[in-house]
Chains A and B, each alone.
Chain A
């Protein structure tokens, strides 16, 4: 009996110590890890859209609650004016959720550019969206609010290939971005003023 109690005590103490240490460490590193994820996973997509921004859009960000979710908005400053935000939306592609970073001009509500963050599309077909600038350029200059569709569905976007799965997913993600933007437009405009580069 004594032996059993000792075993239980040792295991409990050891586990709780371990849990405590790891919990503290996780709290301490959480912010840094979030930054690293932003920099390595979302950073390249953001930078490819905001090539000429004066600031670092990955560092200059704010978050808003949209529906029930908290979303990050990345601010780009041009010539001292914070005039664009980028945020990520998701839509179902051929191989699961595809993340699309959409950048919007907050003055004109026009799309500046779109870029893919994460995807599981077929290599050689859907996955070419990573480098297919001609396809992604079609969104630039269009008003963000409203439905974006491929030509087969009566829209204006020329699909990348005949199967249109990835192209449709991109359109859907951009349309969703439009919905989100419509909902929180005034808040975005207020927040953006705080960034002056």
Chain B
């Protein structure tokens, strides 16, 4: 079942949207989605790594011996993650302070390795690019939605602007770790209900 480039791109936005459909990459999903700013920052960083790693893996797939492919993928991914880390330190230091340890941890994000292994190593450059971009944007979108729900309910604010009237008592539980699980679960549930119809 060959798909067009467009389909490869679009599948990442609903059909295989991480972390809801693939349920991969949960660690950053739960940890950094305290504010929309962090959510988007993390999503963009992951997208960059995904796209670059996917492209390089698909180019090199003919050269890499299959026995050591995982090691090679990890080297490629780790290189791009370090690039992101250095660039973030140089140009967005505040974001770097907020995301902290979760930037280097993109290396072990299963989505990135998963796409390299399951898709990029078996496909050509352009479909791999579309796949990486689609999954990356889907991931960014998911993180943004989760963090928007958590930030607005947890602090009453969204990107610094008050969204609820001041009489609203912030539901601080939502910006704590358990709130992340509950938020993720409820959103997944809503998606399943919509998907069934």
Contacts and interface: CB of A to CB of B under 8 A. Distances in A.
Interface string B42-76: 00000000000000000000011101100110011
Interface string A36-57: 1101100000000000000000
Given A29-B87, A32-B90, A21 B79 contact: yes
B121 to A, nearest CB: 14
- Residues of B in contact with A, size category: 20 to 34
A40 B97 contact: yes
Contacts of B83: 21-22, 25
A118 to B, nearest CB: 13
Contacts of A6: 65
Residue among A11, A37, A39 with max Cβ neighbours from chain B (10 Å):
A11
A contact residues, range: 10 to 19
Given A7-B65, A10-B63, A15 B86 contact: no
Given A3-B65, A6-B65, A7-B68, A40 B93 contact: yes
Interface string B72-108: 1001101100110011011101100100000000000
Nearest to B65: A7
Chain A interface SS verdict (over half):
helix
Nearest to B60: A14
B93 A15 contact: no
A11 B68 contact: yes
Given A6-B65, A7-B65, A40 B79 contact: no
Given A14-B72, A32-B91, 5 more contacts: A10-B68, A29-B89, A29-B90, A32-B90, A36-B89
Interface of B: 63-65, 67-68, 71-72, 75-76, 78-79, 82-83, 86-87, 89-91, 93-94, 97
Interface of A: 3, 6-7, 10-11, 14-15, 18, 21-22, 25-26, 29, 32-33, 36-37, 39-40
